[in-house]
Amino acid sequence: MSGERTAPGLPAGRIGKELITADEITARTAELGDRITADYQGRRPLLVGVLKGAVMFMSDLARAIRIPVEIDFMAVSSYGESTQSSGVVRIVKDLETDIRDRHVLIVEDIVDSGLTLRYLCELLTARQPASIEICALLVKDGAQADARYVGFPIPPDFVIGYGLDLAELYRELPSIHVFEPDA
Ligand code: IMP
C-alpha cells in the first residue's frame, strides 16, 4: 500500500498513523448493531446513509442489526476538495423514500463541525418522521453532535479510509488513518 497519491490540486501528504483498525471497527459496529436491534424492537427503521463517506459503515452496520431494516441514501456536499468546512451544505441526491411516520436513523461517517448533520436533521424533521436519530461512526472532539449512537470519539485531525476521503481518494482503505499533510 503506497501512502503517496498525487493529483493536481490535491493537498500534498500521505497516509499517516492508523487511528482505528479494521478489527476495532468491526467490534464496535457489532456493539452498535446490538444496541440498535434492542432499541428498535417491533419497528422497522429506515437507515439513511449519507453518501459517499458512510457507504462502508452503512453496509456493515445494516448487517450487524438483527431486525428488518430499510435503507436509503442522501448525498450532500460540504467540503469540496478542501480539508476545511466551507460552511455550505448542498443536497446532491435526495431520498427516494417518503419518511413521514417512519423511524429514521441517519448513518453518518464523521461529525466535525456538526453543520452537515444539523442541516440534514432540520430538513428531514420537516418531513414529519415518527422519530429521527443519528448514528455516527466518528465524532471529532469539540463537535456539536446530537448523535444517539457514536462509534468512536476522535481527535480533531483530518482522517481518511473506510469510506472517508480526501478529494475522493483513500476511501478504499480498510481502516481509519490520520492524513499527514506535508510540513
Ligand atoms: P461537518 O459538517 O463539519 O460535521 O462535516 C461533516 C462532513 O465533512 C462529513 O460527512 C465528511 O464528509 C466531511 N469530513 C469532516 N471531517 C472529515 C475528515 O476528517 N475526513 C474526511 N471527511 C471529513
Question: Cell for 140?
Answer: 471529532
Provide the CATH number for the domain around residue 19: 3.40.50.2020
- Residue 183 placed within a domain: no
Q: Is the CB of 112 under 6 A from ligand 1?
A: yes
Nearest CA to ligand 1 atom 20: 159
- What is the pLDDT averaged over residues 47-52? 96
Active site residue 34: no
39-56 average pLDDT score: 97
Using one digit for the tens of pLDDT, what is the confidence trace for 123-155? 999 999 999 999 999 999 988 778 999 999 999
What pLDDT score does 31 carry? 98
Residue 163 Cβ contacting ligand 1 at under 6 Å: no
Residue 7 lies in a domain: no
pLDDT top residue among 11 and 99: 99
Whole domain around residue 56: which residue ranges? 15-167
How would you list the strands of the sheet with 159-160, edge to edge?
13-20, 176-181, 159-160
29, 174 Cβ separation under 8 angstroms: no
pLDDT of residue 116: 87
Cβ proximity of 72 and 106 under 8 Å: no
Q: For residue 65, report the distance from its CA to the centre of ligand 1, in Å.
A: 25
In a domain, 6, yes or no: no
23 contact partners, CB below 8 Å, separation of at least 6: none
Structural domain contains residue 148: yes
- SS3 string, 160-172, reads EECCECECCECCC
Between 55-64 and 22-39, two packed helices, what is the crossing angle to 10 degrees?
50
Domain membership flag for residue 179: no
Q: What is the mean pLDDT of the chain?
A: 91
Q: Give the whole-number percent of the chain exceeding pLDDT 90.
A: 78
Q: Is the CB of 114 under 6 A from ligand 1?
A: yes
Measured in whole angstroms, the distance separating CA 61 from the mean position of its chain's CA atoms is 11
The confidence band for 6, taking pLDDT boundaries of 50, 70 and 90, is low
Q: Please tell me which residue in 60, 109, 112, 165 is annotated as part of the active site.
A: 112
Number of domains the chain contains: 1
Listing DSSP states for 103-159 in one string gives EEEEEEEEESSSHHHHHHHHHHHTT--SEEEEEEEEEETT-----SEEEEEE-SS-E
CA of 115 from ligand 1 middle (Å) equals: 9
Mean pLDDT value across residues 5-27: 87
Residue 84 pLDDT greater than 80, yes or no: no
